[in-house]
Amino acid sequence: MEGERIRRAGEPGQLPLLKKSQIDAYARWTRSTSSTNRLGLKRRHTLTGNIKRHRAFPSKVLKNRRDVLVYLPPGYNRFSRTRYPVLYLHDGQNVFDAATSFAGVEWGVDETAQRLIRLKLIEPLIIVAVANMGEERIHEYAPTAGVISPHDRPKKRSRGLAGTYGRFLIDELKPFIDGKYRTKPEADFTGLGGSSLGGLATLAVGIIYSDTFRRLMVMSPSVWWDDFAIISILGFVREKPPLKIWLDMGMGEPEWEQVHELRDALIDRGWQQDVDLKYLEVEGASHTEAAWAARVEPALRFLFPPQPEPESTFTAKLFRKPGKRG
C-alpha cells in the first residue's frame, strides 16, 4: 500500500522518495500569492491589532524585495519605554491575513497573540512576518542544494540558499527592525519560526546562527529534504547551541516518522523534553495552514511564557523585612 511505502521510505539508511504530497506541497507554496481568489473576487483582509506594513523591503544579499508585516503588542504605544522580544516568521503571507494567505486560510498569529497577551499567558512580543518570494522559496528555505523533484528531466535542484537567507535576516532585516521598533535585540529574546520548508529553514538557520536566534518554532519540518540533510547538519555541530525549540508534526502527514527521528536526534544531542525542547504530535492533523494555526497558541506559550512583573519601589518598601534598609 502507498501509506506503507511512504513510511518505509523514511527509514534510516534509505534514500527518501519525494512523495506526491511533498511535490504537491511544493507546487502550492510556489504559486504566486495574491489577494484574489480563484473566482477573481477580492478576499477580505483579516488583520487584527497594531500591524505595520513595509512594502518591497530590499535585500542586497538576495537581490530581491519582499513585503514585511510587523505586529506590535497591545500597549506598545502607551508604554513608551518598554522593549519587547521578537519572533520572525517565514511565509509571511500566511501569518496574519486571509486575503494574502494560501487558499484564504491564515495562521491567525495576530489574533492568537493579541488574546494570549491580554490574558497574560505569554510575554508581550513583536512578530515580524517575512513574505516568501514565490518560486524562489524552495531556494531560500533549503539549506542544501538538493533535488527538487526526481521526476523532472533534467532534474531540478535547489540552490540551497538558507544560509544566505539567514544573512538577509541578520544583516539587513533585523537591524532595520531593531532600529525602527523597541526590541530586545539580544539573541535570548529573538525567535524564528515556520512550517514545512519554513520549518526546515528555521532549524537550519537557528543551528548555524544561534548567536542571533535562540527560540525556534519548527512546525512540520521537511526533514526529508536532501536525504535528511538537517540531521546531518545537526551532527556537524560540535557543541549543543543554547536553543529553545518547539517541534511538532501532524499524525495525518505521511512524513511524521521522519520528524520523530529528528526529535530523537535532538535529544541525543542534549535537548531535554519539556525543558528546552517541546515535541508535539497531533492526531489526525495534516500539512495545512489550518493545522499550523491550531498549534500557534501552544508554541507561543512554550517559547514566550509570561515574565514576572517587576516589583515597584513602593511594593518593595511595603513588604521589606524589618531590620533591612535601603
Q: Is the pLDDT of residue 36 over 90?
A: no
* Residue 9 three-state SS: helix
Q: Is the pLDDT of residue 112 over 50?
A: yes
| E strand intervals along the chain | 50-59, 64-72, 86-89, 126-130, 147-149, 156-157, 190-195, 215-219, 244-250, 277-282
Enter the C-alpha cell of residue 147.
533535488
pTM of the model: 0.84
167-202 pLDDT, tens digit each: 999 999 999 999 999 999 999 999 999 999 999 999
Task: Quote the percentage of the chain above a pLDDT of 70.
Answer: 81
The pLDDT score that the predictor gives to residue 34 is: 41
227-248 pLDDT, tens digit each: 999 999 998 888 999 999 999 9
Domain parsing of the chain, residue ranges: 2-318
Give the strand pairing for 147-149 and 156-157: antiparallel
Ramachandran angles phi, psi of 50, nearest 5°: -90, 95
Write down the mean pLDDT value for the chain: 86
H or E segment to which residue 141 belongs: helix 137-141
Mean of pLDDT values over 271-286: 97
Confidence of residue 311 (pLDDT cuts 50, 70, 90): low
Q: How many CB atoms lie within 10 A of CB 269?
A: 14
Q: Is the pLDDT of residue 255 over 80?
A: yes
User: What is 2-318's CATH number?
Assistant: 3.40.50.1820
The pLDDT score that the predictor gives to residue 308 is: 86
Query: Which residues, at least 6 apart from 147, have a Cβ–Cβ distance to it below 8 Å?
Result: 18, 155, 156, 157, 158, 226
Query: Which residues, at least 6 apart from 272, have a Cβ–Cβ distance to it below 8 Å?
Result: none
The pLDDT score that the predictor gives to residue 22 is: 45
Mean of pLDDT values over 254-268: 94
